[in-house]
Amino acid sequence: MQALFDSIIQTLQTHAQNTTGQCCPRADFRLAKTAPLSCRSFVRGGAAGEAAAQMQAQKAACHWNKIPLLQAVRHENGWILFDFMDAFYTALCEAITKTACSPAPATDEDELYLINRLRIWQRHGSCACPPDPQVQRALWLAFCDTARVKKLHKETQRAILTMTHHKDGPTRIELEHAIGGVAQAILHLMNSCDNMY
């Protein structure tokens, strides 16, 4: 998963270089609470707002795996925030599930519960990621955790288990029937880490 994660960062580095003329080191990219990724490269020069505007104006030129990557590029508190297109999350699910994995054994009740919930959702079989911010965030956190630290943090596990809780009644059931591909991708992520648990 590290190679997939690196390819996303490289796409953003190339976009920043092409639009602003400035190179953004990989270490300057971070997970953000209000967006999938943030970058601090432009903070030191005080030009984050201008750089975000340049990247936003040219966002259509930024592609990952032949699909448009950026929904928006914005500036907040000196950081540049990157929001991804809905289509990106479906493409990410597909890229993740192309990897071959063996089931990972659960080592405690919390892990077993998480795996069982994912297996239930997986049965619905949809391969697309629905355009729901909570579901997209859960997928993104699981992807980043397994790519970077080879385990799911407790915060990520909570995000996965509660990714449909913001809906009620029939709309929640409808959303749960639409996350089969996301559940399958997260199970693949969990199984991709030999020493995850």
> What is the pLDDT at residue 189?
92
- Quickly count helices (H) and strands (E) in the chain: 8, 6
- Cβ-based burial of 76 (10 A; exposed 0-12, middle 13-18, buried ≥19): middle
**Using 50, 70 and 90 to split pLDDT, how confident is the model at 195?**
very low
- Domains of the chain, with CATH numbers? 2-84 (3.30.1360.70), 88-191 (no CATH)
**pLDDT higher than 60, residue 194:** no
150 burial class (0-12, 13-18, 19+ CB within 10 angstroms)? Answer: middle
Q: What is the pLDDT of residues 76-120, one digit of tens each?
A: 888 899 999 999 999 999 999 887 665 566 667 888 899 999 999
pTM over 0.85: yes
DSSP strand pairing (29-31 vs 79-84): unpaired
For 143-183, write each residue's pLDDT tens digit.
999 988 888 899 999 999 999 999 999 999 999 999 999 99
- pLDDT at 13 exceeding the cut of 90: yes
Q: Whole-angstrom distance between the N-terminal and C-terminal Cα of the chain?
A: 17
**CA separation for the pair 190, 197 (Å, rounded):** 9
Residues 121 and 180: beta-carbon distance below 8 Å: yes
